[in-house]
Amino acid sequence: MLLRLLDELMEDELERILFREEQISERLDQLAAEITADYQGKDLTVIAVLNGSLIFMADLLRRIPLPLQLDCLRVRSYYDGKVTTGKVAFDASTLPDLRSRHVLLLDDILDSGHTLAALVDEFRAHFKPISLKSCVLLRKNKARARPIEADYVGFNIADEFVVGYGLDYQEHYRNLAFIGVLKS
């Protein structure tokens, strides 16, 4: 039943599948190993950007055997269809004191760079963690509106609009187990 529904959805609305479940899983093993090695013996706090990184976060963190802490930050990027307006809003006031922590920001995708740049600016200015790095599942190969790069990248992709595995188009498709390109 579910598979049939997904098949129909794919046929109608997706152009193609970009990364299957197994490919994502394999890449997460490598990414987690890298992060685990880098944060050995450090007080790590992961800040996951909601909603997009929710599934990525859950799968990645269960592969990182470190005594880390987790917090989530709801961030809204305002969209005009598939194009960001550059407006980013979040409320970091609920986060704990991070001055003695190594902070790793987790986001679903690096696109224009507005979101990550705004977060990095805010964290550097107000939270002053010992270190601040970022990790994205996907990184679009394109010129960015803000000059920012992520420290850890799952996959580099072309400048296409993708959905699934947490990523949405107008709040749809987040629960797909794979990542696909939406028909334009």
Which residue type occupies 147?
A: P
Q: Which of 108, 123, 137, 179 binds ligand IMP (CB under 6 A)?
A: 108
Count of CB atoms situated within 10 Å of the CB of 166: 25
111 assigned to active site: yes
Residue 137 phi/psi, 5-degree rounding, is -70, -45
Kindly state the number of chain residues that form the binding site for ligand IMP, as judged by CB under 6 A. 18
Show contacts with Mg ion in window 153-172 (CB under 5 A): 168
Minimum CB–partner distance for residue 45 and ligand IMP (Å): 20
Separation in Å, CA 67 to CA 8, 40, 164: 42, 9, 29
161 near ligand IMP, rule: CB under 6 A: yes
| E runs forming strands in 101-151 | 102-110, 131-140
Q: Judged by CB, which is closer to ligand IMP: 20, or 128?
A: 20
User: Which residue is catalytic, options 71, 91, 111, 159?
Assistant: 111
The site for Mg ion, by CB under 5 A, has a size of 1
Does residue number 111 form part of the binding site for ligand IMP (CB under 6 A)?
yes
3-state secondary structure of 25: helix
| ∠ CA 160-56-2, rounded to 5° | 80
Look up residue 88 and give its two tokens: 């980013």
Beta carbon nearer to ligand IMP, 23 or 84: 84
Q: Compute CA 52 distance to the chain's CA centroid, rounded to the nearest angstrom.
A: 6
Q: CA-to-CA distance for 20 and 62, rounded, in angstroms?
A: 19
- Within 53-72, which residues bind ligand IMP (CB under 6 A)? none
Which residue, 71 or 168, has its beta carbon nearer to Mg ion?
168
Q: Are strands 162-163 and 179-182 parallel, antiparallel or unpaired?
A: antiparallel
In this complex, which beta carbon is closest to ligand IMP, that of residue 45 or of residue 112? Answer: 112
Task: Give me the least distance between CB of 15 and ligand IMP, in Å please.
Answer: 12
Residues designated as active site: 111
Q: Which residue ranges make up the site for ligand IMP (CB under 6 A)?
A: 52, 77, 84, 107-116, 161-163, 167-168
